[in-house]
Amino acid sequence: MEINSEIRFGDEKLKQAYIQLDDRKYQQKELKKWLERAFLDLEKNAFCGTQISKKLIPRDYELRYGSLENLWKYDLPNAWRLIYTVKKDMIVVLSIILDWMNHKDYERKFGY
């Protein structure tokens, strides 16, 4: 089932980090392109990523964002990961961006 969603950032610090990717090196600009493509996919289908088991939700996300009912990952090129949660706001489905990281950091955070 495909459900459209709006993209939001989990906090202002993350939003600013995304905006500042334009001001950085080529590799960071590439990351921004990958994120933009992911955002378009999430706008078309909030559930296009892979759901992460509730027992693997990192405690620091719970402390930072409050109780999370679900957590998803979207695989980006070069083994980067986009982490997001899906919430409903009245009749609008929101894909809230929580983090992005390389594969090594992803494995460390989720205990793989």
Helix, strand or coil, per DSSP, at residue 1: coil
In the predicted model, is pLDDT for residue 23 greater than 80? no
Q: Which residue has the tokens 């620091």?
A: 60
Compare 29 and 34 and report the one with higher pLDDT.
34
- pTM for this structure? 0.82
Q: What radius of gyration, in Å, describes the C-alpha atoms of the chain?
A: 14
Closest CA to 105 of 49, 58, 38: 58
- What CATH number did the domain enclosing 36 receive? 3.30.2310
Contact indicator for 72, 47 with CB cutoff of 8 Å = yes
For 102, the domain range is 6-110
Q: Judge whether 1 lies within some domain.
A: no
What is the number of structural domains in the chain? Answer: 1
Per-residue pLDDT of 51-107, as tens digits, reads 999 999 999 999 999 889 999 999 999 999 999 999 987 677 889 899 999 999 999
Mean pLDDT of the 10-28 span: 88
- Give the distance between the most distant pair of CA atoms in the chain: 40
